[in-house]
Structure 1
């Protein structure tokens, strides 16, 4: 039986569920209080220019679908704003204990954490809602005949993307990845994009692998590698590419992915490391844009993000894409793009140049008058020929 291995993009590399949970806290941090975590995350929000963006949008009215492990919806930062969707694939990460909700809760807090009281962690889109779509992140999922990796008709991720697109999601955040494309997933991505859903995915944590060091590029991870998906790399506090962050042409933009404070089940805080966190932060920025411009298509959202991202000397870099996302500038650019896209109506008496307005161009094909005359002539000829045949027939009969 074929097996396709899904990986969390939190920290590189991991093997099995136990390793995943240990690797999530690869950057240990002492538990912080609500006030302390707000100070600890200040550099993250400043790197994204989030406070400038909040003057315009805080994500109200937007739903971000989180394809991840289950989410603890009772933590103070998320209470009342998480909707639990169906379990997709294995139910390992849908169980009720804190282990099964660790990764999803952390990513949800980065997207839509709303703080608590005078402190607590703030997500990039603190007024957005989260649609939790639990899916196994680090398991060997069996692939049946209907799930063939090359021509398959279905996969857990494809089901998640389609469910999100059909159930009100404006943005889909995917902090996971697998090697090799899947036909059903490509089709699901196209379907979601056609419905105006923005797709964001982690580029992966293979930057320190042997292949990456030898070839100066990383294996592609999917869904980040699908066309139309915003692939996200990770940077540190100084804006430098994180050593573990995968580098290839699937990386469109970057965001903080080292020492990023998150909320864990039960309300505890810890620091995370990985392109998972970077992708969740960018999904939050996309939510801000969609809240301000609900009708903005996914490609235009991507353009707003890339055209305002932090400067890259060469214009593009495989590790950080077009640069670190700037939420404030991206929102401003989104407004400019939408204004330019609106159709401008011009009064009938206002035209470029003088003189009378040019009429409509002639319709393609023959001249209508000539065609009409030809038709009449043809009809008369047929009538005359028929009359002559009738007359001759009668004369012949009379003789």
Structure 2
């Protein structure tokens, strides 16, 4: 692991070995340098391996099922040509992230492990969901009840990691909830509320990204924006001086999550090379659940959970459009928009697919900037 060079250079300089070689190696101790390298590594892996992964998925006949013409007549006319496009491309994203993080993040950091565990766990759920879809040639995969149960298990493991950590600082931070625009945190006085809250964050984020993944490159581009914002947030939370200046919580171990977010950014940009309209591969639930869960896990570790509602505003709007649509139809028998998630409403309103995608990307950038602006409003 290249991250060991950082530990080696730090040890050498502390021990009085001030040779030019060790001084040069000291650059590996900088989080910013390793984050750039992580993003570049993940991007290059996605670009270089993308063609091979696509060919492999095609050879395995892992084509994306499309809902039948009888289910959604107008949408079938718009997306019918996409039937058979290889799915499970999320394996490329996850693989790029794992390799990049293994190379550039410090392995002794516990937050790196818990975030990567969450990513792989949700990626496995998504893979099983995609597997059922492609083998049954149906748009229906794992049941929502089974998926929710597995996500509950992850949230419980996540809460246990924090509540039973041998580090008292980690246990203490788990009981605090920081609200944007407020300096002082709320305290979870009832321990059972912590895993419930983590469940809401992880399930909400992973499913919101999953719902957004309906157009070529839409979820990929929005995830890249949110990952960029949280790379900065994680870096600031892990820097004592920056955290004190901005009056945000200083979180031990948070700094290394900058490398994780940078790897996610690079992987998304590399995947977008193949996923841009017209897409040659879809990420599937394998990718959307994994990267959504990763964003939620990073937000929890950096103690910026609620800020994710602003930074990931596009994901929130997409999820809310589904919830409100279903609630309205069940209560009144009427739909409030033509079709949910919201991106389909605009498609059926006459917007071209590329128009919807780019405009949602623009909104994602604006949401990220608004979220970062809250750092000075406390």
Larger radius of gyration: 1
Q: TM-score range by the shorter chain?
A: under 0.3
Larger fraction in strand: 1
TM-score, normalised to structure 1's length? 0.26
TM-score (norm 2): 0.27
